[in-house]
Amino acid sequence: MKKYIYYWLKRARNKLKLKQKEVAGDKFTRSFISMVETGEVGLSYEARDYITKRLKLPKSYFDTGLFIDEKERLDELTYEIDKLTDAFKYDEALKKVTEALKISEEAKNDDYINLFSLKLARILLEKKQFKKAEDIFKKVNRYYSEEKDYKNLAHSMYWLGIIYMEREIYTDSLFMFNSAIEQNSKLKRKKDLSLKARATTKIAQIYRQTQNYKGAKVKIKEAIEIAKSSKDDYILAMTYWEYSFLLLLVGEYEKSISYYEKAAPIYKALGYERLTLQINNNLASLYHYTGSYDKAIDLTKKTIKISKDKGYDEELAYAYLKGAKAKRDKNLLNEAENDLKKSINLLEKLKDNRILGEAYMALGLLYKRKKENDKAILNFNKAVDIFKEIDKPAYLHSAYGEIIRFYKNMGNIDKEKEYIKNLVNYADKLIDKTKKIIF
């Protein structure tokens, strides 16, 4: 960044409202200061030391271009942005990133510009603006690669891996996560174990999403041990969460509950309320699967109350859905119907189609129980249309299974055969043909 010394000198002089001859003093000439400011000559160590003292600048000013108040504010913003982003307060975080970038760009500090660009890209990722985020990450990667800043390069690669994972480009995503771990290993000083645990967890998640459950189990156990060594409670809770979800998918419900119960108090102690509520919703599903309907209903009631008060629409929609399933299977059918309709209204606004399809299936099964067959079929078909649109074979496979049972119970052999054909078509797309979604 020394290429900006000419700019930093002029910036300091203008801020202090000094003329070039006042900066030169009795040691240098006005023309020398002018040539430094135009980039014609460099600033020797002697001249730099003299001007720093004369203008009462921070000792690091000609390395960073930052005044003391700017450096302090950028450090504050770094902490605040990370806290807000981790707490899903993306709009608030975006305002602070904008402020930080304005300060950094005014000072022409490339290190801070790229640091806050990295944070901006992460926020854009969370807001589903993948193309903008990807372009920023690639630009930041080039900078950190040229600077041999392995720590920040590893972080940037990690988040680029997240984008590819969100877009289901799993080969590129795995490459980025492994590259992040590799760059992190190049650090001469203490390795960032938190990042290594994060990247290893995401590799496990990709294995889980591609139904390589054996590989996922190996990786997530590895991630848990790394997270323990890192002494980073947030990352440890994240690894517990991923392991819980994996255990849920393979049907180890009691063990899954135990790991969610390890993660929940960590998030609560750290002040991450929404993550705690999300775990409550996942636990409600598990209690529903194990027949503990009252536990599931009680958990979702607490989540609904907090989510309503705080305006957490996603957590509220999920809580209505999870609670309604338990109420339906406890034969509280009218309550369950009302909650499912509330969930569907919220999910439509959120455009969360996968869970919306799940909610329509749950409502269809409720009407099946109420023997309101026309309504059941209407909702089953809505779910099927959604699962086709978003290309979720496992969900379609499970939905068709429920619809076939419905028609079989009705004695409608023609419809039963029609859906069996559909089931066979989508079964061919499944990696794990035993996987079943519980609606």
What is the rounded CA–CA span in Å between residue 311 and residue 82?
Answer: 21
Residue 75 three-state SS:
helix
* CATH architecture designation of domain 89-191: Alpha Horseshoe (1.25)
The CATH number given to 2-65 is 1.10.260.40
Q: How is 237-262 classified by DSSP, letter by letter?
A: HHHHHHHHHHHHHTT-HHHHHHHHHH
In sequence order, which residues have a C-beta less than 8 Å from that of residue 271 and are 6 or more positions away? 87
> Which residues, at least 6 apart from 59, have a Cβ–Cβ distance to it below 8 Å?
52
Place of tokens 């040691």: 27
Burial of 281 (0-12, 13-18, 19+ CB in 10 A): buried
**Measuring CA to CA, how many Å separate 22 from each of 16, 27, 60?**
11, 11, 21
Distance CA 235, CA 263 (A): 10
Domain boundaries, the chain: 2-65, 89-191
- Tell me the three state secondary structure of residue 15: helix
User: How many whole angstroms separate alpha carbon 206 and alpha carbon 110?
Assistant: 34
Cβ contacts of 380 within 8 Å, gap of 6 or more? 360, 361, 364, 399, 402, 403, 406
Report the C-alpha gap between 155 and 244 in whole angstroms: 25
Structure tokens at 424: 């066979």
Q: CA 257 to CA 93: how far, in whole Å?
A: 33
Give me 7's structure tokens.
């700019």
Instruction: Tell me which amino acid residue 260 is.
Output: Y
Give the separation between CA 439 and CA 437, rounded to whole angstroms: 6
pLDDT in tens, the chain (439 residues): 567 999 999 999 999 999 999 999 888 999 999 999 898 998 888 999 999 999 999 999 999 999 999 999 999 999 999 999 988 899 999 999 999 999 999 999 999 999 999 999 999 999 989 999 999 999 999 999 999 999 999 999 999 999 999 999 999 999 999 999 999 999 877 789 999 999 999 999 999 988 899 999 999 999 999 999 999 999 999 999 999 999 998 999 999 999 999 999 999 999 999 999 999 999 999 999 999 999 999 999 999 999 999 999 999 999 999 999 999 999 999 999 999 999 999 999 999 999 999 999 999 999 999 999 999 999 999 999 999 899 888 888 888 888 888 888 777 776 766 766 666 665 565 555 556 788 8
C-alpha to C-alpha distance for 95 and 439, rounded to whole angstroms:
40
Rg (CA), the chain: 28
Count other C-beta atoms under 10 Å from residue 42's C-beta: 12
Structure tokens at 135: 């372009």
**CA 185/CA 376 separation, integer angstroms:** 55
Answer positive or negative: Cα dihedral of 275, 280, 281, 287: positive
Q: Is 42 left (phi over 0), alpha (psi -120 to 50) or beta?
A: beta
